[in-house]
């Protein structure tokens, strides 16, 4: 029989790549989308990439428990991927209550509906490197044993969701697992996230459409991979024999300053001529450094990233050169 997958946050970057990946594997793919006033905002990634006719979408919300019950009863999925979240870390400082509700209480809602309606299914929770905060092991790496000391409402909420998944797995013997994904980007990333903001702005400057780029902290370091590689890891994590926790990361780190240098250089420019700092983009508490140890995912699951930082930037630049 054809496997059925249910994805929350299917209209996002990861959701669109995951639905594409699962569809290619023969899955019947269902996704939950939130209702927006502008219809194009609801599933523009799915429509743009030819997915809207291939998947089944349902209106719902992580904070609307009855809608989750209805959808779970209708779909009866074999696999559940909870990717839905308030996903912008900087904005979580401005909207802490909504972030906590969506990213923590929303996970609880999904787990309860999963437990009561289709407990035989497998459940994947999109956990985050932001959970570690500024905790770094002595060798400069974050791993599963690194203490979690988040420094944002987003990170705090993700820690609660992470622990809820572990609790439900042990308490109710569910196949519920966590993927701790470090930063991952792509041409489908929203342009209010720093990677695509830098790439889009650099192309606009190159084309004479703007003259400067305002950013926050240029000296924060991140472990950036490609979303397409990371959704493959999600599927591997969920289908591992034993439900468990895995870190997905490249093991390489770059600063925002490095990012600017690489992107502007690829376009024949010097970022120092165009990039300025603006206090409004600074976080009240900064997360300085992320570098993940994904050795467990590589050894146990056989996962390997196909993209490099350079090839990812090339793909993102090509998107904006084509569209602007």
Which residues belong to the active site?
128, 130, 154
Neighbours of 74 (CB within 10 A): 12
Picking from 107, 110, 91, the residue whose alpha carbon sits closest to that of residue 158 is: 107
Say if residues 124 and 174 touch (Cβ distance below 8 Å).
no
Q: How many CB atoms lie within 10 A of CB 284?
A: 9
Query: Phi/psi at 245 (nearest 5 deg)?
Result: -110, 140
Place of tokens 């809820």: 164
Do 198 and 213 contact (CB within 8 A), yes or no? yes
For the packed helices 309-323 and 256-266, what is the interaxial angle rounded to 10 degrees?
A: 60
Q: What six digits make up the tokens of 201?
A: 């702005």
CA pair distance 112, 56, nearest whole angstrom: 23
R_g over Cα of the chain: 19
DSSP strand pairing (254-255 vs 221-222): antiparallel
The CA distance from 301 to 216, in Å, is 37
Q: How far is CA 212 from CA 232, 305, 322, in A?
A: 36, 33, 21
Identify the helix (H) or strand (E) that includes residue 47: helix 40-48
């Amino acid at each position: 029989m054809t496997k059925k997958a249910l994805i929350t946050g299917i209209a996002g970057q990861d959701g669109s790549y995951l639905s594409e990946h699962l569809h290619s594997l023969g899955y019947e793919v269902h996704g939950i989308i939130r209702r927006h006033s502008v219809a194009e905002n609801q599933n523009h990634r799915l429509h743009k990439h030819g997915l809207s006719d291939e998947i089944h979408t349902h209106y719902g919300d992580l904070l609307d428990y009855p809608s989750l019950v209805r959808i779970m009863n209708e779909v009866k999925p074999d696999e559940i991927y909870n990717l839905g979240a308030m996903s912008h870390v900087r904005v979580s400082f401005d909207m802490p209550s909504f972030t906590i509700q969506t990213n923590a209480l929303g996970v609880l809602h999904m787990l309860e509906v999963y437990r009561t309606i289709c407990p035989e299914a497998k459940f994947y929770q999109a956990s985050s490197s932001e959970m570690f905060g500024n905790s770094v092991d002595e060798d400069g790496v974050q791993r599963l044993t690194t203490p979690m000391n988040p420094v944002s409402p987003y990170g705090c909420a993700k820690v609660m969701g992470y622990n809820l998944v572990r609790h439900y797995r042990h308490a109710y013997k569910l196949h519920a697992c966590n993927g701790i994904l470090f930063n991952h980007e792509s041409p489908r990333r929203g342009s209010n996230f720093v990677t695509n903001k830098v790439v889009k702005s650099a192309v606009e400057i190159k084309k004479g459409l703007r003259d400067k780029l305002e950013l926050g902290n240029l000296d924060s370091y991140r472990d950036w991979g490609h979303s397409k590689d990371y959704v493959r890891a999600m599927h591997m994590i969920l289908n591992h024999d034993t439900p468990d926790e895995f870190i997905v990361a490249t093991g390489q780190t770059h600063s925002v300053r490095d990012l600017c240098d690489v992107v502007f250089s690829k376009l024949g420019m010097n970022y120092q001529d165009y990039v300025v700092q603006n206090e409004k983009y600074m976080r009240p508490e900064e997360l300085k450094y992320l570098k993940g140890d994904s050795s467990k995912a590589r050894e146990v699951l056989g996962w390997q990233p196909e993209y490099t930082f350079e090839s990812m930037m090339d793909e993102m630049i090509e998107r904006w050169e084509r569209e602007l």
